Amino acid sequence: MKSTTRITALAAGALIAALCSPVGAAHADTATPRIDLRVLVVSDGGPATDAIAAELDTAGTPYTEIDLRQSGRQVIDAAFLADTVDGQPRAKFQAVVLPNDNPFAAGSAEMAALAAYEQAYAIPQVDAYTYARPEAGLQYPVNGGYSGSIDGVAAQVTDAGKAGAFGYLDGAVPFEDNSADVGESYAYLSTPAAGADFTPYVDAAIPGTSNRGSLVGEYKHDGRRELVVTFVYNQYQQQFRLLARGIVEWATGGVHLGADRNYFAVHVDDVFAADDRWNSDLNCTPGDVDCTDGSVEPDPIRMTPDDVDHATSWQTSKDFTLDLAYNAVGTVNEREDNNGTDLLADELVADRDAFRWINHTYTHAFLGCEQDVTVVPWKCATNADGSTKWVSQSDISDEIATNRAWGESAGLPLESDELVTGEHSGLRILPQQPDDNPNLGPALTANGVAWLGSDNSRDPEQRQVGSATTVSRYPVNVFYNAAKAAEQVDEYNWIYTSRAQGGSGICEDNPATSTCLTAPLDTATGYGDYIVPLETKTALGHVLSNDPKPHFIHQSNLAEERIAYPVLNGVIDGYDALFADNAPLVNLRMKDIGSELGKRAAWKSALASGEVTAYRVGDTVTVQAPDDVAVSATVPAGTTAGGSAFGTAYAGGLSGWAEASAGPLTLALPSSADAPSTLRDAEGGTTAPDTSKAPRTRVPAGVTESVPFTPES
């Protein structure tokens, strides 16, 4: 081995003394420290630290980032890490995230300062992606381990991981293998080094052996704790999304600002109405404004009572509730055409309490500009002076109020302040209508609408329209005009193949489209083999990203062959196979999703402006935020606020919002919550930390590695 540079025990003690006793303050090695609830992220621009930072961003957990690539960056020293406030020692960060176990030059004063800080205040360190080596508590991979691709590997949470920060997982941690031609995950699998106090939390089988190697584990040494991660990842990969919560919970001891939950809501549009069917000969949908061959009559798709029975039994089996967005004109017309009979509506109304209901306007009319359908694609009609002709405020109000009145008379359990307009119309839509209908906002206000559905693919940010706040919805790529798998595949092929292959050419005109096909799918097998797995992966990715936005499908997808269910089953069953019972899917209605998104926006704005202060002293957390901002936090079970339980149980802890109020929020943690009661002093014999720079780690496929890696020898 090459010789490594070590700090002497005396030097380590001197650094800790500097941390504990800044200039002008008495040495207070027995004082109860204040730990600020903020994470220090030291980045080298790699995907692993970026992924952890993204998790903190999404959760609303404050952090400070230092980019080692930047000239003139903040130097990490004792004064940067700690000071005193009103005579009390203060640690400015509750956790440290490094790109690897030591990204600095050998003998670095910055690494020494970090090590001493971690010793003094019992601050955990996350090694975002490091090479397996004795300095990280592991044997070199050449000693019975493995280094290479782990695409498609089935990793597992160990018993120790389940008993700790990763206890929200059921056990399996599957690594993605999306393409046989692309390397997606590189890892070092190894066993603990001789004499190391190392506990694997996530491991996988070492190829060619009967042993298992650590992928995530805790290394205790020199009075410090490190979470050692030996596989590379980015923020979008499923394996990271599964482990992201646990990484943060381990680093913070389960006490931090912000929260992470897994949400899934599904809106079913056009209930009671019928959706027109795709025509494979015309490559359009008769009845739609852009399908101009008047010789072909529309072919309507409408649910039946059997489809309702299937939906209710499916909900029961999945412990899940669908949100039905309804258009009452569908049943009114059905009864007019059938001597007052509508068996579908009778069944839905009889089972109305099994679902949640959303006003989708009476006739599903287009509520933006008046459409000129004499051209393809349609355009906005104009007045004589060239100005846009808009659907009037009174017409919009009639659509909202008439549908609401019908729903109330039928006893539907409505929330009268929720609305989804037909095609999300009235809101801006490019290229034809770059602005909202100016009559939409006043109509929403007049009808008391507080929450308005929007299409996330074209209007992703929450915004105000009159009295309403938008709630962006994810479109599931199961088409409104398809009730059979072959229809779905035929239209999918038309949209996403080239003109030479008989397709629309959209992908040629828009090469950034992510769903383009190299060849048409088989209409007999393409749905189950290609579309369902892709849509399942996309939706599950949203679920695992702490994203509460709802998804939407159409009533046609629950009719005939019921093609939506394979995707919904894929998401829910796939989730249940990965997560423990203590982390169920959170299934909210639209207004509650809107409220969650609004609170998050206000919270993140307060964090960004520096208006939030939070710290822990022993078993007490104090949070000061603006009077009009609700506080988001995650804490251990047993935590109270003002004598009452804080938040609600999720993933083994408590999380939620403390509603905005004047004055600080004080949380009383249970005595079982680990925290340093006094400062630690390394003087007198504590082994000093090893500051040898970590060797280079391999990078994901597609990123050039300039030299082959050779471990120190």
CA atoms within 13 A on the CB side of 181: 0
Question: Which tokens hold the place of 505?
Answer: 């050419």
Which tokens is 658 given? 């403390």
Q: What does the pLDDT read at residue 691?
A: 63
Q: What is the pLDDT of residue 526?
A: 98
Q: What is the pLDDT of residue 688?
A: 52
Is the pLDDT at 29 greater than 60? The verdict is no
All structural domains of the chain, each given as residue ranges with its CATH number in brackets, are 9-253 (3.40.50), 266-590 (3.20.20.370), 591-668 (no CATH)
- Indicate if the pLDDT at residue 17 is higher than 90: no
Verdict on whether the full-model pTM lies above 0.85: yes
Residue 366: pLDDT above 60?
yes
> How sure is the predictor about 26, in pLDDT bands with cuts at 50, 70 and 90?
very low
CA distance 709 to 196: 24
How deeply is 341 buried, as exposed, middle or buried, from its count of CB atoms within 10 A (0-12, 13-18, 19+)?
Answer: exposed
Q: Which range is least confidently modeled, 166-180, 225-239, 340-354, 509-523?
A: 509-523
pLDDT at 19: 52
Give pLDDT, residue 7.
Answer: 40
Look at residue 292 in the predicted model and tell me its pLDDT. Answer: 86
Whole-number Å distance between alpha carbons of 218 and 198: 6
User: How many Cβ atoms from other residues are within 10 Å of residue 383's Cβ?
Assistant: 10
Helices (H), 319-392: 329-337, 343-350
Work out whether the CA dihedral 249, 688, 48, 216 comes out positive or negative: negative
pLDDT higher at 189 or 697: 189
Tell me the sheet residues that pair with 127: 98, 228
- Tell me the range of 17-26, 286-295, 606-615 where mean pLDDT is highest: 606-615
Instruction: Please name the helix (run of DSSP H) or strand (run of DSSP E) that holds residue 172, with its range, or none.
Output: strand 172-174
Query: Is residue 8 very low, low, confident or very high in pLDDT (cuts 50, 70, 90)?
Result: very low
